[in-house]
Structure 1
Amino acid sequence: MITRLNSLAIIIASIIGIASCGNPTAQNRPAASAVPVNVQKVAKQNVVYHNEYPATVVALNEVELRSEVGGYITGISFKEGQKVKRGQRLYTLDQRKYTAAKAQAEANLKVAKANLEKAQKDADRYTALSEKDAIAKQQLDYALTELDNAKSRVAAAEADLVTANTNLRYSVITAPFDGTIGISNVRIGTFVSLGQTLLNTISSDNPMGVDFVIDEKELNKYLALEQSADNKEKSVFTIALPDKSLYGDAGEISVIDRAVDPQTGTIKIRLVFPNAQRKLRAGISATVRVLNENSGEQIMIPYKAVTEQMSENFVFVEDNGVVKQTRIELGKRIHEKVIVKSGLQVGQNIVVEGIQKLRDGVPVQAAFLEAGEKTARK
């Protein structure tokens, strides 16, 4: 029974083999089946992108308020956090001893001037008598010396009065410029030491500066931008705030620092932004966004189509059902896409899905995808 079955199987296999040899389709079937992939035609897109740098918002003018005289705080004449005008009274120190010192200086000056007047009369009288040889020359010398001393005492008294007036004026601390004042570090009754106690900080708030650093290799680019009309006329410089929102106004280069830091190879740049709404506050961490000079029509492809080997980037280009591994040079990555600087031509087909099973020269069964958005932004 088993022998008959084996014989029957051999006969059937022989029939199938003969049939296959006579079937043209079976003879022409490739040894390796085509790999199913999705491809996309290479096209240019209008790309607007930026180079980004960490930055800090700074006040263009900022002063720590300290008293130039000592004493107790007797008055605070502002609301914390409010805008103040130049010359506006902010703090008042106890003025009693400074008022008394001024009165004393005025009295001393009055006495000194009276003594000077007497000394002048004595000198004039002794000079006249000396001309007639009516007195000893020594008496005239004494009179002239006393006149010089009286003049010196008047000068000293005048200087003391200036000092007294200055101290009295310093007992009232005023705003040195228009700006915003912070939270006070002292209260009424606090004793203030001359030049030591920090009372408050006042800073300008419109416009505001934004500081960031660049590599020394980029210096020439920014020097050119500083002189370019683009610095002011276009939105070359924008900033993103800590919540990732974009600040509404564009800025411009205010100053490029005088020297490169030899330890880091970087140099500081300060931008200036209008701040009428006071959204920018000193100390905020921001991101400077500099419009890239290569923005415009660029070849862009999905980043997932790129493979990396030995620090080089490749894509699979499909042509007539076969893929070829092609080396490319990448530019800026923007979200899920990346700019291709070289290696691809418009109209070529690249594999964007199914690249895991591919190698150079493998046949594929391609399905086309749409190119996607016409404009990519970041």
Structure 2
Amino acid sequence: MFHSISGRSKFLAFTLCLLVPILAAFGCGKEEKPPEVIRSIRWIKVAETSTLQVRMISGTTKPVDQTALSFAVGGTVETVKVRLGDQVKKGQVLAELDQQPFVLGVRDAEAELSKAQANVVERRANYERYVALYESNNASKAELDEARASFDSATSQVKAAEAQLGLARRDLRKTRLTAPFNGTISVKEIEPFVEVPSGRAVFGLDGEESGFEVSTEVPETVVINLTVGEEADVVFPGLKNRRVPGVITEVGARSRAATTFPVTVQLQEQFPALRSGMSVEVAFEFIPESEKGEPVYTGLLVPLTAFLVGAKKTHFVFVYDEKSSTVKKTQIKTLNLRENDVIVEPGTLKAGDIIATAGAAFLNDGQKVNLMKEEK
């Protein structure tokens, strides 16, 4: 029994003697610093580009001459002489009201005028009689003045009756609604025997000789760059993207909707397929300005993926330094967007600079990097 224990003890002692030096060697060994990991970055060389910005804004076509027509007097519609879509000429009668009430109005006004004229003749004769009596001392000054006032009142009544007759005759003429210019009937909301009030629109007339224009609502960031007289192409998506030149004729000074302003572009070409109410896209082109208010014609094209946003709306990119193989965090000034790229004002960044195009948020200023060869 003692021999067995003694043998096991010797075996354990021998094993420990072997393990202790090995463990000591590992425990007392000096820790090695892991090798520095150098990140590889995707990159691009910055290139120059035109800063010309194009913004496509939706709009609708309409005739330059477009108006709503209504009767100046109310009455019962007697005849409607045109249909929707009809071509009409200037002065052509479009519809008529029943004239009988207006004819009677003219006759009543004529009768009132005749009565007033007869009255003024009588009052004039009476006044002249009192003048003679006053001069022969057979009438007082008060009687003369009363006769004069009566004559003046009768004269005023004649003038009022003449004016009333003029209005009655005008109203009679207004029972005929005529076209103010050549054009096409675009709206018709009138039928015979219907009572219509004065001022209610019954026809819409689109001018055929003045051409067409486009009405748009432009954001405030664009409208500040637009000027009357500038060119702006108009694209017709429904006509195989036909492109027609246009000129800006109106730029609204006051917003009609939230942050948008009315802008009108007149088309410089006409074609048979052109209709009022067509949906179009207007290409507004403009050159951005620097912070000093000067136009910047040439910029640098930088992909959106290269951007890093800082505080107070600042923007940065990481520029690669070939000598030190490090990247430098560089602030830039943006001019405008172009699809998936940003046009940057030259300055801290210049053409030919190498910038990181991905993972900018994971880079540090002065960090050592490698350029990925496949991105040349």
Aligned-partner Cα distance in 2 for 1:125–1:364: 120
Is contact 1:39–1:367 with CA below 8 Å preserved after alignment?
Answer: no
Q: Give the structure 2 partner of residue 363 of structure 1.
A: 370
Cα distance in structure 2, aligned partners of 1:120 and 1:276: 69
State whether residues 54 and 288 of structure 1, in contact with CA within 8 Å, keep that contact through their aligned partners in structure 2.
no
Q: SS of 2:188's equivalent?
A: coil
Counterpart in the other structure of 1:344: 349
Change (3 A) 1:246 1:332: farther
Measure, in 1, the Cα distance between the counterparts of 2:147 and 2:309. 104
Structure 2 partner of 1:208? 213
Structure 1 distance, partners of 2:359, 2:138, is: 128
What CA distance in whole angstroms lies between the structure 2 residues aligned with 1:85 and 1:326? Answer: 70
Shift of 1:338: 2.9
- Structure 1 gap segments, 5+ residues each: 1-29, 370-378
Equivalence map 1:297-308=2 (5 Å): 297-304=298-305, 306-308=306-308
Q: Which of 278, 287, 291 pairs up with 1:292?
A: 287
- Flag the 1:188–1:353 CA change in 2: closer, same or farther, 3 A: same
Q: Deviations over 1:255-281 (max 9, x none)?
A: 552x689x97x6846444246538574
Give the letter aligned to residue 373 of structure 2.
A
Q: Are the aligned partners of 1:318 and 1:351 in contact in 2 as well (CA < 8 Å)? A: no
How far apart are the structure 2 equivalents of 1:105 and 1:301? 81
User: For 1:345-369, what per-residue CA distance to the aligned partner results, in whole angstroms no more than 9, with x for missing partners?
Assistant: 3233345579899773133452354
Pick from 108, 114, 118: which aligns with 1:110? 114
Matched, 1:165 2:169: yes
Structure 2 residue aligned with 1:151, among 144, 150, 155?
A: 155
TM-score (norm: length of structure 1): 0.63
* Structure 2 CA distance for partners of 1:117 and 1:313, relative to 1, 3 Å: same
Distance 1:276 1:173, change over 3 A: farther
Residues 1:250 and 2:246 aligned together: yes
Deviations 1:52-107 (A, max 9, x none): 66667677776543333221112234443556565443331111111222133224
Look up the equivalent residue of 2:195 and give its one-letter code: F
Q: Secondary structure at the match of 1:189?
A: coil
Greater displacement, 148-157 / 86-95 = 148-157
Give the letter for the 1:159 counterpart. A
Conserved 8 A contact 1:315-1:326: yes
Q: Which residue of 2 aligns with 1:73?
A: 77
Q: Find the aligned partners of 2:214 and 2:134 in 1 and give their Cα distance.
A: 74
Equivalenced residue count is 325
- Structure with larger Rg: 2
Instruction: Indicate whether 1:327 and 2:334 are aligned.
Output: no
- Distance (whole Å) between structure 2 residues aligned to residue 355 and residue 146 of structure 1: 99
Higher RCO (CA 8 Å, separation ≥ 6 residues):
1
How is 1:44-59 mapped onto 2 (pairs within 5 angstroms)?
44-51=48-55
Counterpart CA distance in 1 for 2:345 and 2:107 is 81
For normalisation by structure 2, the TM-score amounts to 0.63
2:30 aligns with: none
2-side partners of 1:33 and 1:125: how far apart?
Answer: 127
1:136/1:323 CA distance change after superposition, 3 Å: closer
In 2 relative to 1, CA 83–298 (structure 1 residues): closer, same or farther, beyond 3 Å? farther
Please report how far the alpha carbon of residue 165 of structure 1 lies from its aligned counterpart in structure 2 after TM superposition. 0.5
SS in 1 for 2:103: helix
**What residue in structure 2 maps to residue 376 of structure 1?**
none
CA distance in 1, matches of 2:121, 2:243: 71
Identify if the C-alpha distance between structure 1 residues 298 and 134 changes in structure 2 by more than 3 Å, giving closer, same or farther: closer
Q: Tell me, in whole angstroms, the C-alpha distance in 1 between the residues paired with 2:146 and 2:362.
A: 116
> 1:64-103 to 2 correspondence within 5 Å?
64-81=68-85, 87-103=91-107
Query: Closer, same or farther in 2 for the Cα pair 1:284/1:96, shift >3 Å?
Result: farther
Pick from 307, 320, 340 the counterpart of residue 317 of structure 1.
320
SS in structure 2 at match of 1:103: helix
Q: 1:319 to 1:36 in 2, by over 3 A?
A: same
Cα 1:178/1:318, change in 2 over 3 Å? farther
CA separation in 2, counterparts of 1:193 and 1:105? 22
Matched-pair contact (CA < 8 Å) for 2:186–2:204? yes
- Secondary structure (helix, strand or coil) at the match of 2:69 reads strand
Compare 285-294 and 92-101 and name the one that shifted more: 285-294
> 2: distance between equivalents of 1:143 and 1:301?
96
Amino acid at match of 1:300: L
Q: Give percent identity, aligned residues only.
A: 22
Quick one: which amino acid aligns to residue 345 of structure 1? Answer: K
State the alpha-carbon separation in 2 of the partners of residues 356 and 129 from structure 1: 114
